[in-house]
Amino acid sequence: MPTNNLLALPDDLMLVVARHALAIELPAALRLLQTCTVLHARLDVVIRAEAKALRLCWLEVVLHSIGDDGLTLHVLGSHGDKLPYAAGPLLPTVGRSTWAVRVETSLSNVGLLHLGVCDAACRSTWSLELNEGRLHREDTVARKHVPPPDGFPDGHWKQVLFDSEGKPERLYKRANGAIIEICLDHDAGTLSLGVNGGPMQRALAGFPVGAAMRPYAWLPFYRDAVRYVRPYIQHSYVERAHQRQRV
């Protein structure tokens, strides 16, 4: 779209264009700000604030260690009677958020670690156990599976990974180097997973629309480590969600 045509758009439509650029590639959205001084003045504060909100890092940690870049997560030593876990930033509550985590190392390449999502309080978790290809739901305070909060789905021990023939798949002895892509659709209330660039597979439905959630990881063994593949959440901003948010 020529710059003159872009400048003719009303502010709300221009913001939609900028958000689409942000969803496709963060640097593209930031370059859009440099197109001209008028665009910079109209979009700079909003786009930079949204880019900052989409920054990935590990924040809430129990018995885990965060790398200097904020993207890498390591487990510490023996955890005794505590449940080790880590959580990322609060995700957006509209549209669709996607991020990917690479397994740097897993004890004996077995893949007993968990990757997924948790609630805002980092208490209720829904995660893929790579070893079995199943969904694991746990309460970090009770340190075991208990019924989920009211209005949230359970899905504990549901098979969520399948191969191209529809047969149950697991990453036992294939965990090291695996890339797990996680997608939370905030409007549909669904969690989907993909492995090593394969198609996204619906893992669970029934999350409350717009629920506050975070990325989640659980590394049980010494020297287990994972890393965000990208430094930013890929956020598909759906205009209908924006309209609902304004109502």
Average pLDDT (165-189) is 97
Quick: pLDDT tens for 220-231: 888 899 999 999
Asked if pLDDT for residue 198 goes beyond 50, the answer is: yes
Phi then psi dihedrals of residue 228, to 5 deg: -60, 135
Average pLDDT (83-101) is 93
Give the model's pLDDT for residue 66.
Answer: 94
Arithmetic mean of pLDDT over the chain: 86
Quick: pLDDT tens for 53-69: 889 999 988 888 999 99
Q: How confident is the model at residue 129 (pLDDT cuts 50, 70, 90)?
A: very high
CB atoms < 10 A from the CB of 131, how many? 19
**What are the chain's domains?**
3-53 (no CATH), 60-239 (2.60.120.920)
Phi then psi dihedrals of residue 149, to 5 deg: -60, 155
- Nearest CA among 74, 57, 43, 18 for reference residue 232: 57
